[in-house]
Amino acid sequence: MAPAKHPRRAQFAAFLKWLYWRYLRVGFSLLPPRVINMFTQAMAHVEVAIAGNRKHIMLEELRLSSLTKDGDTDALILRRSFQNQLNSWIKQCYLRKMNEKTIGEYIPAEGLSHLDGALGRGNGAILLNPHFGPYMMIMPALGYRGYKVNQLAIQAESPRVARAGFTMLANRARYEAVEKTMPIRFINAGAETFDNFGLRNMAIRDVLTALRQNEIVLYPPTGRGGRQWQTAPFLGRMANFNLVPYKIALKAGIPLIPVFLIDLTATEGSVHVARAVIEPPIEVSTGDTPEGLLMKYLKVLTAYVEKYPEHFAFFQFDMKIKSEWDDHPFFTRSSPEK
């Protein structure tokens, strides 16, 4: 288990985050993406050098998932993982410059024809957007291209948790700079309402309404919200997934569309922030089951994780830390063979 941060260190880290979201992001947005790539590449070397136990946990998780092979590869993936994580939030500074006219300059998109074909049926579309690389960039990538997008999220409104000092200020500043500026509608999966029958979560109703209006619903298939979990083989281990999107697809008779955001690093000499890739739909038929659709999706997700392990490493690290108290950890302790 990772040691808890010292209160003063935690507040200092929160101060730096507040400073970035409140002020520094404006200056960063004036820099070309390739300059930020150079900056985060240098910072990644520093982070790796001082990462301590965090570095060892990340490497262990990568090895357990068969995503590293030897020492040289480990060092490269580790550095790229730190850079990828830095890019994922630093490059959100460009949100203030994105709009309907500029979105193509910042986030090129591949496979839009797959999405248009699904929407052409008139029943909406569910896009499976995992915690992979700069995944939040799919929201402006689609919203600013004129699509009606709904994002299912556990928290879709300004943070109200009473926290001390700069932690609260940093969370609020980030919300104002990121979630509040997104050209989409959030569906709060954590929102609950009272009726004559007691406490009821209304998020699923909102999802089905959006689909009936032929809109897009972004669903995080690696998210940790929900109550019912399906254990499935993934990366040579067993992992817990929620079957909700697969059940909704069967109920609504609509395809599931995998989507991935690829961070464009300095090694590619890119002038873009990220690249959105929309995969061909996973078609749904009457003979399918939620479990079967999950396995079809995991085949696609596995291919991307194996190709870009640095895009998934920090999520695995985060899940390892949270497994100490999570009642449904992402990876279980057993393997498929056991």
Per-residue model confidence as pLDDT tens digits over 202-214: 688 899 999 999 9
Residue 104 in domain: yes
Residue 55 in domain: yes
Residue 337 in domain: no
Q: How confident is the model at residue 268 (pLDDT cuts 50, 70, 90)?
A: low
**pLDDT score for 67:** 92
**pLDDT score for 193:** 56
Task: Pick the closest to residue 212 from 111, 107, 122, 315 (CA basis).
Answer: 122
Segment holding 256, helix H or strand E:
strand 256-263
**pLDDT score for 31:** 94
Q: How many domains does the chain have?
A: 1
**pLDDT score for 159:** 52
pLDDT at 44 over 90: yes
Where residue 225 sits, what CATH number does that domain have?
Answer: 3.40.1130
Q: What is the DSSP letter of 282?
A: B
Residue 56 in domain: yes
Residue 327 in domain: no
Q: How confident is the model at residue 155 (pLDDT cuts 50, 70, 90)?
A: low
pLDDT at 217 over 60: yes
Q: What is the pTM of this model?
A: 0.90
pLDDT at 156 over 50: no
Tell me the residue range of the domain where 112 lies: 7-322
Q: How confident is the model at residue 191 (pLDDT cuts 50, 70, 90)?
A: low
Residue 17 in domain: yes
- Tokens 């003063």 found at: 8
Residue 83 in domain: yes
Q: Which of 34-38, 137-141, 227-231, 300-304 has the lowest mean pLDDT?
A: 227-231
**pLDDT score for 202:** 67
Task: Pick the closest to residue 239 from 303, 326, 158 (CA basis).
Answer: 326
Residue 334 in domain: no
Task: Pick the closest to residue 184 from 158, 155, 216, 208 (CA basis).
Answer: 216
**pLDDT score for 311:** 96
138 exposed, middle or buried (CB, 10 Å; 0-12, 13-18, 19+)?
buried
**pLDDT score for 231:** 96
Q: What is the mean pLDDT of residues 181-202?
A: 70
Q: Beta partners for 110?
A: 277
pLDDT at 123 over 80: yes
